[in-house]
Amino acid sequence: MQPQIDKVSDAPLREFVGYHIKRAFNVIQADLNDVLSRFDLRMISYSALVLIVENPGIRQSQLATALAIERPNLVVIIDELEKRELITRDRLLTDRRAYLLQATLAGRRLCDKAATAVGAHEEALFEEIDKDTRSSIVDALNRIEAKSREDRS
Amino acid sequence: MQPQIDKVSDAPLREFVGYHIKRAFNVIQADLNDVLSRFDLRMISYSALVLIVENPGIRQSQLATALAIERPNLVVIIDELEKRELITRDRLLTDRRAYLLQATLAGRRLCDKAATAVGAHEEALFEEIDKDTRSSIVDALNRIEAKSREDRS
DNA sequence: CATAATGATTATGTTCTATAACTAAATACG
DNA sequence: CGTATTTAGTTATAGAACATAATCATTATG
């Protein structure tokens, strides 16, 4: 008789916290992209817009580093935000190689609206998890992130 | 005077737990792929191997569902595991459309070794986080995951 | 028995991401 | 100075990851 499986067990993978993080992140990302699609934004372009709003005059290279993506891949994202007139791309007078990125009024407004919607969805996803638990999760995640920085140093 | 940024602030994004989850997951994934490269495995092929070891006789369609990937994309992964003689792909006698996937002895051994290495790296990443916190994190992540299941039902 | 549905595969296309090579401008230094 | 090197941004391109449509063989349905 050949062995057959009716219910698939992923018990060994569930031993790893990283596995749970990946599965939860998949849910969060799907939800986030769903919300952002209403604003014609994706996770990466939304993040870029937020950082430009928060850091007026940021350079593309700084933005690429902050987003942890390669410079060439940022170009197309910036192109689109500029074409939609959500940001401006002006030459830096003191260094004519660089561009200064700044959000337009429309960009700041869209960013605000999107942030509100994203926040509401986050709240819905995390509603069962109390504030203390959330902050201990964030603290733990920050520690993990810090691990990779100490590796590189 | 043009505005310029010396230190980039991502404060608005840090408001979102999902942002921290993404950043931590990037670190975990990089570390994991680094560990698995020693066994010529990637995250996805390792996960597949684990599920085949744990569920002898699993079908490709069941495995694709468990891994949350499309069937066509699983084929190449299974091809490689079979070519490396880590798994076998046998016709199911009662349904000659389907294949039964089973790990070979070499597959189980590689899986064990990889799991040990992965576990050690997880432990290193999470060393600062005590057991109670870890299980409350896992519990919270499971609740988030459950959210998407209740959406689909 | 004809039709529909299923498991796996092939072919194909899209998106994401990384690398190399290039232009223009700024800096380093002999 | 002026030549070499570095930096900011871009273009071109290639690979990996992921999704869709079409196909073949087989099984289930009416």
Residue whose Cα is closest to the C1' of C26: A95
Does residue B152 lie within any of the structural domains?
Answer: no
Count up the domains in chain B and report the number: 1
Residue whose Cα is closest to the C1' of D11: A72
CB contact under 8 Å between A25 and B25, yes or no, is yes
Instruction: Kindly tell me if the per-residue pLDDT of A153 is higher than 60.
Output: no
The confidence score (pLDDT) of residue B93 equals: 87
- Per residue in A82-102, pLDDT (tens digit) is 999 999 999 988 899 999 999
Could you tell me what percent of chain A has a pLDDT over 70? 96
- Per residue in A58-85, pLDDT (tens digit) is 999 999 999 999 999 999 999 999 999 9
Does residue A1 lie within any of the structural domains?
Answer: no
Does residue A96 lie within any of the structural domains?
Answer: yes
Secondary structure in 3-state letters for chain A: CCCCCCCCCCHHHHCCHHHHHHHHHHHHHHHHHHHHHCCCCCHHHHHHHHHHHHCCCECHHHHHHHHCCCHHHHHHHHHHHHHCCCEEEEEECCEEEEEEEEECHHHHHHHHHHHHHHHHHHHHHCCCCCHHHHHHHHHHHHHHHHHHHHHHC
| Chain B residue closest in CA terms to A47 | B13
How many CB contacts within 8 angstroms connect chain A with chain B? 195
Q: Give CA–CA dist B90/B102, Å, rounded.
A: 8
- Per residue in A17-54, pLDDT (tens digit) is 999 999 999 999 999 999 999 999 999 999 999 999 99
Which residue from A28, A4, A60, A117 is spatially nearest to B95, judged by alpha carbons?
A4
Closest nt to residue B71, judged CA to C1': C8
Q: Quick one: pLDDT band at residue B153, thresholds 50, 70, 90?
A: low
The confidence score (pLDDT) of residue A2 equals: 73
Looking at residue A99, its amino acid is Y
CB contact under 8 Å between B54 and A11, yes or no, is yes
> Rounded to 10 degrees, what is the CA torsion of A144, A145, A147, A152?
160
Q: At B44, phi and psi to the nearest 5?
A: -70, -40
The confidence score (pLDDT) of residue A10 equals: 95
Does residue B2 lie within any of the structural domains?
Answer: no
Does residue B98 lie within any of the structural domains?
Answer: yes
Write down the ipTM of this complex.
0.91
The confidence score (pLDDT) of residue A3 equals: 78
> What CATH number did the domain enclosing A114 receive?
1.10.10.10
Q: Tell how far CA B85 is from the center of its chain.
A: 21
Smallest Cβ–Cβ distance between A140 and the set B32, B124, B129 belongs to B129
Does residue B10 lie within any of the structural domains?
Answer: no
Q: Which residue of B6, B27, B59 to mutate against A (max A Cβ within 10 Å)?
A: B27
Contact indicator for B105, B75 with CB cutoff of 8 Å: no
CB contact under 8 Å between B12 and A54, yes or no, is yes
Query: Residue for token digits 């299941």?
Result: B149
Q: Supply angle C-alpha A77, A82, A86, rounded to 5.
A: 105
Full domain range(s) for residue B112? 17-147
Q: What mean pLDDT comes out for the span A114-143?
A: 94
Does residue A124 lie within any of the structural domains?
Answer: yes
Smallest Cβ–Cβ distance between A18 and the set B16, B32, B54 belongs to B32
Q: Give CA–CA dist A93/A75, Å, rounded.
A: 21
CB of A98 lies under 7 Å from some atom of strand D? yes
Does residue A40 lie within any of the structural domains?
Answer: yes
> Rounded to 10 degrees, what is the CA torsion of B45, B121, B39, B20?
40
- Per residue in B63-118, pLDDT (tens digit) is 999 999 999 999 999 999 999 999 999 998 889 999 999 999 999 999 999 999 99
- Per residue in B9-42, pLDDT (tens digit) is 999 999 999 999 999 999 999 999 999 999 999 9
Instruction: Kindly tell me if the per-residue pLDDT of B149 is higher than 80.
Output: no
